[in-house]
Amino acid sequence: MSVCVLSCVLFEFLFQKLCRRDVTVGDFSAVVTGMLLAFNLPVSIPLWQAMFGSLVAIVAVKQLFGGIGRNFANPALTARIVMIVSFASSMTNFATNADATSSATPLVQMGTDAMPSLLTLFLGNHGGCLGETCALALIIGFVYLLVRKVITWHTTVVFVGTVALFTLCLGQNPLEHVLSGGLLLGAIFMATDYSTTPSTKWGKVIFGFGCGLITVLIRVFGGYPEGVSFAILLMNILTPYISIWTRRKIFGGVKK
């Protein structure tokens, strides 16, 4: 987490200095990006790869598109996808204890006798990325953000509910899907990003439904066990159109 946060802040500072832009590291958006990126990485990943992910998130995804509020995709999420493609081995090496013993994630074990219990999934005593294993901690974070009115419930609830509903219809255990992988992490902390998701209530509902549907399609029918990152990224691309479709109509104005 320290490496990701410091790298993101440093890369943003250096890029803005080189481009003679106003330095905005004081808004702490780079710190948030670094934390979210760290939460999407295995604890055993080489630190230089974490720095590379920070470079992709800040420079390629955020600053090259104009900085905060102008990027079309979530920087941490996009960096994770780039790292999955670039460092497939280290990005799928999940340690489950202090001895760095590797283990398959629940999404890989789903449907087998090795699948952890729901209590284990809820408390996070299983393999996975740093910030996706403990459902209890993620739900506490969700409640905190709701109470502080940092986010609204629409995207998160619809996202998770869609995954639960469609997996139930497909004859799978919906609770296992909800508590496994990066669903809660993505639905709570990345699908609610201001600049890359719709701002209208119905837009958030549509966005959450689309994310949930794509996640289920990839998890159940795709060749990759996790679909949350790809689902959110694809829906990020559709965000401008969803915002246009769901914006309020102004009555009494001149029709153009």
Tokens 């609830």, residue?
Answer: 157
- Euclidean distance between CA atoms 81 and 98, whole angstroms: 27
Query: What percent of the chain lies above the pLDDT cut of 90?
Result: 57
Token match 């159940």: residue? Answer: 220
Can you give the pTM of this predicted structure? 0.87
Q: Give the model confidence (pLDDT) of 202-241 as tens digits.
A: 999 999 999 999 999 999 998 777 889 999 999 999 999 9
Contacts 24+ apart (CB under 8 A), 112-116: 115/176
> Quick check: helix, strand or coil at residue 247?
coil
Query: Tens of pLDDT along 168-184?
Result: 999 989 998 999 888 99
Query: For the segment 135-167, what is each residue's pLDDT rounded down to a tens digit?
Result: 999 999 999 999 999 999 999 999 999 999 999
The CA distance from 130 to 39, in Å, is: 5
pLDDT at 125 over 80: yes
The single residue listed with the structure tokens 């837009």 is: 203
Compute the distance between CA of residue 236 and CA of residue 198 in angstroms, rounded to an integer.
9
Query: What residues have CB less than 8 Å from 210, skipping those under 6 apart?
Result: 231, 234, 235, 238
d(CA 237, CA 244): 13
* Comparison of pLDDT for 122 and 111, the residue scoring more: 122
